[in-house]
Protein backbone atom coordinates (compact mmCIF):
# COMPACT_ATOMS: atom_id res chain seq x y z
CA UNK A 1 0.00 0.00 0.00
CA UNK A 2 2.78 2.43 0.88
CA UNK A 3 4.13 2.47 -2.66
CA UNK A 4 0.86 2.06 -4.54
CA UNK A 5 -1.33 4.98 -5.48
CA UNK A 6 -5.13 4.64 -5.24
CA UNK A 7 -6.81 3.08 -8.27
CA UNK A 8 -7.80 5.57 -10.93
CA UNK A 9 -5.20 8.16 -9.98
CA UNK A 10 -1.98 9.04 -11.77
CA UNK A 11 1.38 10.57 -10.97
CA UNK A 12 2.27 13.23 -13.48
CA UNK A 13 6.03 13.02 -13.67
CA UNK A 14 8.78 15.38 -14.80
CA UNK A 15 8.84 14.90 -18.55
CA UNK A 16 5.02 14.79 -18.52
CA UNK A 17 4.32 17.93 -16.49
CA UNK A 18 5.81 19.97 -19.34
CA UNK A 19 2.99 18.75 -21.60
CA UNK A 20 0.44 19.73 -18.96
CA UNK A 21 1.97 23.17 -18.59
CA UNK A 22 1.91 23.57 -22.35
CA UNK A 23 -1.84 22.80 -22.51
CA UNK A 24 -2.58 24.97 -19.50
CA UNK A 25 -0.69 27.89 -21.04
CA UNK A 26 -2.60 27.59 -24.31
CA UNK A 27 -5.86 27.51 -22.31
CA UNK A 28 -4.90 30.60 -20.31
CA UNK A 29 -3.91 32.47 -23.47
CA UNK A 30 -7.13 31.64 -25.33
CA UNK A 31 -9.18 32.63 -22.29
CA UNK A 32 -7.42 35.97 -22.01
CA UNK A 33 -8.10 36.70 -25.66
CA UNK A 34 -11.80 35.92 -25.21
CA UNK A 35 -12.13 37.96 -22.02
CA UNK A 36 -12.33 35.10 -19.47
CA UNK A 37 -10.63 35.40 -16.08
CA UNK A 38 -9.44 32.62 -13.85
CA UNK A 39 -11.41 31.50 -10.82
CA UNK A 40 -10.15 29.01 -8.22
CA UNK A 41 -12.66 27.35 -5.95
CA UNK A 42 -12.08 24.70 -3.25
CA UNK A 43 -11.58 21.09 -4.24
CA UNK A 44 -14.27 20.06 -1.75
CA UNK A 45 -17.69 21.53 -1.10
CA UNK A 46 -20.77 20.73 0.96
CA UNK A 47 -22.32 17.59 -0.53
CA UNK A 48 -25.66 19.37 -0.82
CA UNK A 49 -24.27 21.69 -3.51
CA UNK A 50 -23.62 18.84 -5.93
CA UNK A 51 -26.90 17.06 -5.14
CA UNK A 52 -28.73 20.27 -5.94
CA UNK A 53 -26.39 21.48 -8.68
CA UNK A 54 -25.56 18.35 -10.66
CA UNK A 55 -28.91 16.65 -10.06
CA UNK A 56 -30.13 13.85 -7.83
CA UNK A 57 -30.87 11.39 -10.63
CA UNK A 58 -27.50 11.69 -12.37
CA UNK A 59 -24.92 8.90 -12.34
CA UNK A 60 -22.48 11.34 -10.79
CA UNK A 61 -24.60 11.98 -7.70
CA UNK A 62 -26.02 8.47 -7.45
CA UNK A 63 -22.84 6.46 -7.83
CA UNK A 64 -19.71 8.48 -8.39
CA UNK A 65 -19.18 11.01 -5.64
CA UNK A 66 -16.36 10.89 -3.13
CA UNK A 67 -18.38 11.83 -0.08
CA UNK A 68 -17.25 11.66 3.52
CA UNK A 69 -17.96 13.13 6.93
CA UNK A 70 -15.30 15.49 8.20
CA UNK A 71 -14.34 15.72 11.85
CA UNK A 72 -17.12 18.22 12.42
CA UNK A 73 -19.66 15.70 11.13
CA UNK A 74 -20.34 17.74 7.96
CA UNK A 75 -20.98 15.87 4.74
CA UNK A 76 -18.24 16.91 2.34
CA UNK A 77 -17.73 15.89 -1.30
CA UNK A 78 -14.64 16.12 -3.50
CA UNK A 79 -15.87 18.10 -6.50
CA UNK A 80 -16.98 15.84 -9.36
CA UNK A 81 -17.14 18.83 -11.72
CA UNK A 82 -16.61 22.57 -11.64
CA UNK A 83 -19.88 24.22 -12.64
CA UNK A 84 -21.75 23.89 -9.34
CA UNK A 85 -18.77 25.29 -7.42
CA UNK A 86 -18.46 28.30 -9.72
CA UNK A 87 -22.20 28.95 -9.39
CA UNK A 88 -21.79 28.80 -5.60
CA UNK A 89 -18.91 31.28 -5.75
CA UNK A 90 -20.87 33.56 -8.11
CA UNK A 91 -23.57 33.77 -5.43
CA UNK A 92 -21.52 33.65 -2.25
CA UNK A 93 -18.94 36.17 -3.45
CA UNK A 94 -21.66 38.37 -4.99
CA UNK A 95 -20.19 38.35 -8.46
CA UNK A 96 -23.77 38.87 -9.63
CA UNK A 97 -23.71 42.34 -8.08
CA UNK A 98 -20.88 43.48 -10.39
CA UNK A 99 -20.90 44.13 -14.14
CA UNK A 100 -22.42 41.28 -16.18
CA UNK A 101 -21.66 39.02 -17.88
CA UNK A 102 -19.12 37.37 -15.60
CA UNK A 103 -16.77 35.22 -17.68
CA UNK A 104 -14.60 32.75 -15.77
CA UNK A 105 -12.31 29.82 -16.44
CA UNK A 106 -10.72 27.14 -14.29
CA UNK A 107 -8.21 24.32 -14.57
CA UNK A 108 -7.96 21.65 -11.93
CA UNK A 109 -8.64 18.16 -10.58
CA UNK A 110 -12.12 16.63 -10.37
CA UNK A 111 -13.10 13.36 -8.68
CA UNK A 112 -15.52 10.67 -9.78
CA UNK A 113 -15.70 7.13 -8.51
CA UNK A 114 -16.10 5.26 -11.77
CA UNK A 115 -14.52 2.14 -13.25
CA UNK A 116 -11.08 3.26 -14.41
CA UNK A 117 -10.07 2.61 -18.01
CA UNK A 118 -8.08 4.39 -20.71
CA UNK A 119 -9.21 8.02 -20.60
CA UNK A 120 -11.26 7.52 -17.43
CA UNK A 121 -9.75 8.22 -14.06
CA UNK A 122 -11.06 8.76 -10.57
CA UNK A 123 -8.99 11.89 -10.23
CA UNK A 124 -8.93 13.66 -13.57
CA UNK A 125 -8.47 17.23 -14.70
CA UNK A 126 -10.67 19.67 -16.52
CA UNK A 127 -10.22 23.00 -18.22
CA UNK A 128 -13.61 24.68 -17.99
CA UNK A 129 -15.28 28.02 -18.57
CA UNK A 130 -18.52 29.39 -17.10
CA UNK A 131 -20.35 32.54 -18.19
CA UNK A 132 -23.14 34.18 -16.19
CA UNK A 133 -25.59 36.82 -17.34
CA UNK A 134 -25.27 36.34 -21.11
CA UNK A 135 -28.54 35.16 -22.61
CA UNK A 136 -27.83 36.01 -26.26
CA UNK A 137 -27.30 33.17 -28.76
CA UNK A 138 -23.90 34.69 -29.63
CA UNK A 139 -22.73 33.70 -26.13
CA UNK A 140 -23.53 30.03 -26.87
CA UNK A 141 -21.55 30.35 -30.10
CA UNK A 142 -18.63 32.06 -28.33
CA UNK A 143 -18.37 29.27 -25.76
CA UNK A 144 -18.25 26.59 -28.47
CA UNK A 145 -15.92 28.71 -30.61
CA UNK A 146 -13.52 29.10 -27.68
CA UNK A 147 -13.41 25.33 -27.17
CA UNK A 148 -12.76 24.65 -30.84
CA UNK A 149 -10.19 27.47 -31.07
CA UNK A 150 -8.36 25.99 -28.07
CA UNK A 151 -8.26 22.50 -29.60
CA UNK A 152 -7.21 23.99 -32.93
CA UNK A 153 -4.27 25.82 -31.37
CA UNK A 154 -3.10 22.51 -29.93
CA UNK A 155 -3.24 21.03 -33.42
CA UNK A 156 -6.41 18.98 -32.83
CA UNK A 157 -8.28 19.83 -36.00
CA UNK A 158 -10.13 16.57 -36.66
CA UNK A 159 -12.55 16.69 -33.73
CA UNK A 160 -16.32 16.45 -34.07
CA UNK A 161 -18.52 19.05 -32.44
CA UNK A 162 -22.00 17.63 -31.74
CA UNK A 163 -24.71 20.09 -30.82
CA UNK A 164 -28.34 19.89 -29.77
CA UNK A 165 -30.95 21.96 -28.01
CA UNK A 166 -32.58 20.59 -24.88
CA UNK A 167 -35.06 23.48 -24.71
CA UNK A 168 -36.50 25.18 -21.63
CA UNK A 169 -38.36 23.42 -18.76
CA UNK A 170 -41.63 23.75 -20.71
CA UNK A 171 -40.17 21.98 -23.78
CA UNK A 172 -38.67 19.44 -21.39
CA UNK A 173 -42.10 18.65 -19.90
CA UNK A 174 -43.48 18.08 -23.40
CA UNK A 175 -40.68 15.77 -24.47
CA UNK A 176 -40.80 13.93 -21.17
CA UNK A 177 -44.44 13.09 -21.72
CA UNK A 178 -43.89 12.10 -25.34
CA UNK A 179 -40.98 9.87 -24.37
CA UNK A 180 -43.01 8.14 -21.67
CA UNK A 181 -45.80 7.52 -24.18
CA UNK A 182 -43.26 6.17 -26.67
CA UNK A 183 -41.45 3.86 -24.25
CA UNK A 184 -44.48 2.68 -22.24
CA UNK A 185 -45.26 -0.31 -24.53
CA UNK A 186 -41.64 -1.55 -24.41
CA UNK A 187 -40.92 -0.60 -20.81
CA UNK A 188 -39.97 -4.13 -19.68
CA UNK A 189 -37.59 -4.53 -22.63
CA UNK A 190 -35.46 -1.63 -21.42
CA UNK A 191 -32.42 -2.28 -19.22
CA UNK A 192 -33.07 -1.91 -15.47
CA UNK A 193 -31.26 1.41 -15.50
CA UNK A 194 -33.54 2.77 -18.18
CA UNK A 195 -36.63 1.40 -16.45
CA UNK A 196 -35.62 3.56 -13.55
CA UNK A 197 -34.92 6.50 -15.87
CA UNK A 198 -38.40 6.09 -17.38
CA UNK A 199 -40.00 7.79 -14.39
CA UNK A 200 -37.11 9.90 -13.12
CA UNK A 201 -35.61 11.28 -16.31
CA UNK A 202 -36.77 9.57 -19.53
CA UNK A 203 -34.51 11.81 -21.62
CA UNK A 204 -31.53 9.84 -20.37
CA UNK A 205 -32.86 6.70 -22.08
CA UNK A 206 -31.75 8.33 -25.35
CA UNK A 207 -28.23 8.30 -23.98
CA UNK A 208 -28.15 4.62 -22.92
CA UNK A 209 -25.20 2.64 -24.27
CA UNK A 210 -26.98 -0.76 -24.01
CA UNK A 211 -27.54 -1.92 -27.57
CA UNK A 212 -31.16 -3.01 -27.12
CA UNK A 213 -32.11 0.32 -25.51
CA UNK A 214 -30.36 2.17 -28.33
CA UNK A 215 -32.31 0.07 -30.81
CA UNK A 216 -35.61 0.81 -29.08
CA UNK A 217 -34.78 4.51 -28.87
CA UNK A 218 -34.00 4.84 -32.56
CA UNK A 219 -37.39 6.30 -33.51
CA UNK A 220 -38.03 8.01 -30.18
CA UNK A 221 -39.08 11.66 -30.08
CA UNK A 222 -36.22 14.05 -29.28
CA UNK A 223 -36.05 17.44 -27.59
CA UNK A 224 -35.21 19.11 -30.87
CA UNK A 225 -38.61 17.94 -32.17
CA UNK A 226 -40.44 19.47 -29.20
CA UNK A 227 -38.92 22.95 -28.92
CA UNK A 228 -41.21 25.90 -28.20
CA UNK A 229 -40.96 28.85 -30.64
CA UNK A 230 -38.57 30.83 -28.40
CA UNK A 231 -36.20 27.90 -27.89
CA UNK A 232 -36.34 27.07 -31.58
CA UNK A 233 -35.48 30.67 -32.51
CA UNK A 234 -32.62 30.75 -29.99
CA UNK A 235 -31.13 27.54 -31.37
CA UNK A 236 -31.51 28.74 -34.97
CA UNK A 237 -29.53 31.87 -34.13
CA UNK A 238 -26.82 29.86 -32.38
CA UNK A 239 -26.47 27.73 -35.51
CA UNK A 240 -26.34 30.83 -37.72
CA UNK A 241 -23.52 32.26 -35.61
CA UNK A 242 -21.63 28.98 -35.89
CA UNK A 243 -22.05 29.08 -39.65
CA UNK A 244 -20.89 32.71 -39.76
CA UNK A 245 -17.77 31.71 -37.81
CA UNK A 246 -17.19 28.82 -40.20
CA UNK A 247 -17.14 26.24 -37.40
CA UNK A 248 -18.45 22.88 -38.60
CA UNK A 249 -20.74 20.94 -36.29
CA UNK A 250 -22.98 17.90 -36.34
CA UNK A 251 -26.61 18.39 -35.34
CA UNK A 252 -27.10 15.48 -32.95
CA UNK A 253 -30.69 15.22 -31.79
CA UNK A 254 -29.82 12.36 -29.46
CA UNK A 255 -27.32 14.32 -27.47
CA UNK A 256 -28.63 14.71 -23.92
CA UNK A 257 -25.56 14.99 -21.62
CA UNK A 258 -25.24 13.31 -18.25
CA UNK A 259 -25.89 16.27 -15.95
CA UNK A 260 -29.35 17.57 -15.08
CA UNK A 261 -28.79 21.30 -15.27
CA UNK A 262 -28.73 21.80 -19.03
CA UNK A 263 -31.28 23.90 -20.91
CA UNK A 264 -31.17 25.08 -24.54
CA UNK A 265 -27.83 24.49 -26.27
CA UNK A 266 -25.91 21.36 -25.26
CA UNK A 267 -22.77 20.14 -26.97
CA UNK A 268 -20.09 17.51 -26.84
CA UNK A 269 -16.77 17.24 -28.63
CA UNK A 270 -15.60 13.82 -29.77
CA UNK A 271 -12.06 12.79 -30.56
CA UNK A 272 -12.11 9.80 -32.91
CA UNK A 273 -9.54 7.14 -32.09
CA UNK A 274 -8.80 7.76 -28.41
CA UNK A 275 -10.79 4.71 -27.32
CA UNK A 276 -14.14 4.09 -25.68
CA UNK A 277 -13.99 7.39 -23.82
CA UNK A 278 -14.09 9.57 -26.91
CA UNK A 279 -15.88 12.55 -25.35
CA UNK A 280 -13.02 14.97 -25.03
CA UNK A 281 -15.22 17.81 -23.80
CA UNK A 282 -18.78 18.93 -23.30
CA UNK A 283 -20.97 21.71 -22.07
CA UNK A 284 -24.03 23.79 -22.62
CA UNK A 285 -26.45 26.30 -21.23
CA UNK A 286 -27.88 26.02 -17.71
CA UNK A 287 -30.31 28.89 -17.37
CA UNK A 288 -32.02 27.52 -14.25
CA UNK A 289 -29.01 26.51 -12.19
CA UNK A 290 -28.20 29.80 -10.43
CA UNK A 291 -31.80 30.08 -9.33
CA UNK A 292 -31.89 26.43 -8.24
CA UNK A 293 -28.90 27.22 -6.01
CA UNK A 294 -30.77 30.09 -4.37
CA UNK A 295 -29.76 33.03 -6.58
CA UNK A 296 -31.60 35.42 -8.86
CA UNK A 297 -32.71 34.10 -12.27
CA UNK A 298 -29.46 34.20 -14.24
CA UNK A 299 -28.57 32.63 -17.56
CA UNK A 300 -25.44 30.50 -17.49
CA UNK A 301 -23.38 28.62 -20.03
CA UNK A 302 -20.04 26.85 -20.10
CA UNK A 303 -18.01 23.78 -20.89
CA UNK A 304 -15.40 21.46 -19.42
CA UNK A 305 -12.72 19.65 -21.39
CA UNK A 306 -10.86 16.62 -20.06
CA UNK A 307 -7.12 17.21 -19.99
CA UNK A 308 -6.16 13.51 -19.85
CA UNK A 309 -8.22 12.87 -22.98
CA UNK A 310 -6.68 15.87 -24.72
CA UNK A 311 -3.25 14.42 -23.95
CA UNK A 312 -4.33 11.02 -25.30
CA UNK A 313 -5.53 12.67 -28.52
CA UNK A 314 -2.33 14.71 -28.87
CA UNK A 315 -0.15 11.68 -28.25
CA UNK A 316 -2.11 9.54 -30.66
CA UNK A 317 -1.85 12.15 -33.42
CA UNK A 318 1.83 12.87 -32.75
CA UNK A 319 0.99 16.48 -31.91
CA UNK A 320 2.79 16.81 -28.60
CA UNK A 321 5.48 19.45 -28.93
CA UNK A 322 9.06 18.49 -28.22
CA UNK A 323 9.58 20.58 -25.12
CA UNK A 324 13.19 20.90 -24.02
CA UNK A 325 13.55 21.72 -20.35
CA UNK A 326 16.30 21.25 -17.82
CA UNK A 327 19.64 23.00 -17.54
CA UNK A 328 21.40 24.44 -20.57
CA UNK A 329 24.73 24.67 -18.81
CA UNK A 330 26.53 22.21 -16.57
CA UNK A 331 29.22 23.54 -14.30
CA UNK A 332 31.93 20.97 -13.76
CA UNK A 333 34.39 21.56 -10.92
CA UNK A 334 36.52 19.40 -8.64
CA UNK A 335 38.24 20.05 -5.35
CA UNK A 336 37.04 22.32 -2.54
CA UNK A 337 38.31 25.60 -3.99
CA UNK A 338 37.10 24.93 -7.53
CA UNK A 339 33.71 23.90 -6.17
CA UNK A 340 33.44 27.14 -4.18
CA UNK A 341 34.36 29.19 -7.26
CA UNK A 342 32.03 27.10 -9.38
CA UNK A 343 29.14 27.40 -6.94
CA UNK A 344 29.45 31.22 -6.98
CA UNK A 345 29.64 31.26 -10.78
CA UNK A 346 26.56 29.00 -10.88
CA UNK A 347 24.64 31.60 -8.87
CA UNK A 348 25.76 34.36 -11.28
CA UNK A 349 24.68 32.29 -14.29
CA UNK A 350 21.27 31.68 -12.76
CA UNK A 351 20.92 35.36 -11.84
CA UNK A 352 21.59 36.13 -15.53
CA UNK A 353 18.63 33.89 -16.42
CA UNK A 354 20.70 30.95 -17.64
CA UNK A 355 19.41 27.53 -16.51
CA UNK A 356 22.47 25.91 -14.97
CA UNK A 357 23.34 23.01 -12.70
CA UNK A 358 26.36 21.35 -11.10
CA UNK A 359 27.40 18.11 -9.46
CA UNK A 360 26.39 17.35 -5.86
CA UNK A 361 27.68 13.80 -5.69
CA UNK A 362 31.44 14.35 -5.53
CA UNK A 363 31.97 12.80 -8.98
CA UNK A 364 35.32 13.00 -10.76
CA UNK A 365 35.60 15.62 -13.53
CA UNK A 366 35.36 12.86 -16.12
CA UNK A 367 32.22 11.43 -14.53
CA UNK A 368 30.74 14.93 -14.30
CA UNK A 369 31.24 15.43 -18.04
CA UNK A 370 29.64 12.08 -18.72
CA UNK A 371 26.68 13.05 -16.55
CA UNK A 372 26.43 16.45 -18.34
CA UNK A 373 26.23 14.54 -21.63
CA UNK A 374 23.44 12.35 -20.28
CA UNK A 375 21.53 15.41 -19.08
CA UNK A 376 21.68 16.73 -22.64
CA UNK A 377 23.07 20.14 -21.70
CA UNK A 378 24.26 22.39 -24.52
CA UNK A 379 27.35 23.75 -22.73
CA UNK A 380 29.70 22.80 -19.96
CA UNK A 381 31.71 25.30 -17.94
CA UNK A 382 34.74 23.55 -16.49
CA UNK A 383 36.92 24.74 -13.64
CA UNK A 384 39.96 22.51 -13.38
CA UNK A 385 43.26 23.01 -11.53
CA UNK A 386 44.75 25.02 -14.40
CA UNK A 387 41.74 27.38 -14.68
CA UNK A 388 41.67 27.82 -10.93
CA UNK A 389 45.23 29.19 -11.01
CA UNK A 390 44.42 31.63 -13.82
CA UNK A 391 40.94 32.60 -12.64
CA UNK A 392 39.54 31.44 -15.99
CA UNK A 393 37.08 28.73 -17.10
CA UNK A 394 36.81 26.36 -20.05
CA UNK A 395 33.59 26.81 -22.01
CA UNK A 396 32.76 23.63 -23.90
CA UNK A 397 30.17 23.38 -26.64
CA UNK A 398 28.79 19.88 -26.06
CA UNK A 399 27.33 19.53 -29.54
CA UNK A 400 30.23 20.92 -31.58
CA UNK A 401 32.73 19.27 -29.24
CA UNK A 402 34.83 22.48 -29.30
CA UNK A 403 36.08 24.40 -26.30
CA UNK A 404 37.93 27.58 -25.36
CA UNK A 405 39.43 29.09 -22.27
CA UNK A 406 37.87 32.43 -21.28
CA UNK A 407 37.24 34.63 -18.25
CA UNK A 408 34.18 34.09 -16.07
CA UNK A 409 32.64 37.37 -17.22
CA UNK A 410 33.14 36.41 -20.84
CA UNK A 411 31.54 33.02 -20.18
CA UNK A 412 28.44 34.65 -18.68
CA UNK A 413 28.25 37.08 -21.62
CA UNK A 414 28.68 34.28 -24.18
CA UNK A 415 26.07 32.05 -22.56
CA UNK A 416 23.67 34.94 -22.15
CA UNK A 417 23.59 35.82 -25.85
P1 LIG B 1 -18.84 16.28 -18.26
O2 LIG B 1 -19.33 15.91 -19.61
O3 LIG B 1 -19.27 15.47 -17.12
O4 LIG B 1 -19.27 17.81 -18.06
O5 LIG B 1 -17.27 16.33 -18.27
C6 LIG B 1 -16.56 17.10 -19.23
C7 LIG B 1 -15.35 16.35 -19.73
O8 LIG B 1 -14.54 15.94 -18.64
C9 LIG B 1 -15.65 15.07 -20.48
O10 LIG B 1 -15.98 15.33 -21.81
C11 LIG B 1 -14.33 14.33 -20.37
O12 LIG B 1 -13.42 14.82 -21.35
C13 LIG B 1 -13.84 14.75 -19.00
N14 LIG B 1 -14.12 13.68 -18.02
C15 LIG B 1 -15.29 13.45 -17.37
N16 LIG B 1 -15.16 12.39 -16.54
C17 LIG B 1 -13.89 11.95 -16.65
C18 LIG B 1 -13.13 10.87 -16.06
N19 LIG B 1 -13.66 10.07 -15.13
N20 LIG B 1 -11.84 10.71 -16.44
C21 LIG B 1 -11.28 11.54 -17.37
N22 LIG B 1 -11.95 12.55 -17.95
C23 LIG B 1 -13.23 12.76 -17.61
C24 LIG B 1 -19.02 18.52 -16.94
O25 LIG B 1 -18.25 18.20 -16.08
C26 LIG B 1 -19.72 19.87 -16.91
N27 LIG B 1 -19.36 20.54 -15.65
C28 LIG B 1 -19.32 20.70 -18.11
C29 LIG B 1 -19.94 22.05 -18.12
C30 LIG B 1 -19.40 23.20 -17.68
N31 LIG B 1 -21.16 22.33 -18.55
C32 LIG B 1 -21.39 23.63 -18.40
N33 LIG B 1 -20.32 24.15 -17.86
Atom 8, ligand 1: residue with shortest CA distance: 306
Quick one: which atom of ligand 1 is closest to the CA of 309? 12
Rounded to whole angstroms, the Cα distance separating 16 from 10 reads: 11
Predicted local distance difference test score (pLDDT) of residue 207: 82
**Contact 327 CB / ligand 1 (< 6 Å):** no
pLDDT in tens, 119-140: 999 999 999 999 999 999 999 9
**Contact 303 CB / ligand 1 (< 6 Å):** yes
Pocket test for ligand 1, best of 126, 140, 260, 283 (most atoms within 8 A of CB): 126
Of 223, 227, 221, nearest to 257 (Cα)? Answer: 223
**Contact 300 CB / ligand 1 (< 6 Å):** no
Pocket test for ligand 1, best of 127, 129, 306 (most atoms within 8 A of CB): 306
Quick one: which atom of ligand 1 is closest to the CA of 54? 27
Cross-strand pairs, 106: 128
Predicted local distance difference test score (pLDDT) of residue 224: 86
Ligand 1 centre to CA of 259 (Å) is: 10
Regarding beta strands 160-165 and 329-333, do their DSSP bridges make them parallel or antiparallel, or are they unpaired? Answer: unpaired
pLDDT in tens, 69-110: 999 999 999 999 999 999 999 999 999 999 999 999 999 999
Atom 21, ligand 1: residue with shortest CA distance: 120
State whether residue 324 is helix, strand or coil.
coil
Predicted local distance difference test score (pLDDT) of residue 323: 87
Name the H helices within 246-328: 289-292, 307-316
Predicted local distance difference test score (pLDDT) of residue 200: 86
Predicted local distance difference test score (pLDDT) of residue 251: 96
Peptide bond into 184 cis (omega under 30): no
**Contact 105 CB / ligand 1 (< 6 Å):** no
Rounded to whole angstroms, the Cα distance separating 15 from 179 reads: 50
List, for the chain, all residue ranges whose pLDDT scores fall below the cut of 70: none
Predicted local distance difference test score (pLDDT) of residue 289: 96
Rounded to whole angstroms, the Cα distance separating 23 from 46 reads: 30
Predicted local distance difference test score (pLDDT) of residue 259: 86
Atom 16, ligand 1: residue with shortest CA distance: 120
Atom 17, ligand 1: residue with shortest CA distance: 120
Pocket test for ligand 1, best of 282, 286, 301, 309 (most atoms within 8 A of CB): 282
**How far are the Cα atoms of 30, 326, 355, 403 from residue 400, in angstroms, in the given order?**
39, 20, 20, 9
Predicted local distance difference test score (pLDDT) of residue 271: 95
In our burial notation (b when 16+ CB lie closer than 10 A, e otherwise), range 64-101 reads bbbbeeeeeeeeebbbbbbbbbbbbbbbeeebeeeeeb
Amino acid sequence: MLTTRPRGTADILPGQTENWQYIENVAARVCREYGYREIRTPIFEHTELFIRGVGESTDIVEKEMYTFRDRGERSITLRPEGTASVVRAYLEDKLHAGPQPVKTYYIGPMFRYDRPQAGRLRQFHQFGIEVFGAQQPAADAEVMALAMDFYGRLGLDDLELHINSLGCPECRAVVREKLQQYFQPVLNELCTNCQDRFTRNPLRILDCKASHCAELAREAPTTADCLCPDCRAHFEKVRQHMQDLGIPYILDKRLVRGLDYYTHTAFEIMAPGIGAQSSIGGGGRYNGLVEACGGPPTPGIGFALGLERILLALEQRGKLPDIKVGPVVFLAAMGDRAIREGFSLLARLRAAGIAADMDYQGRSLKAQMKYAGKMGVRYAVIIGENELQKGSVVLRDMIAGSQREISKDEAIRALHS
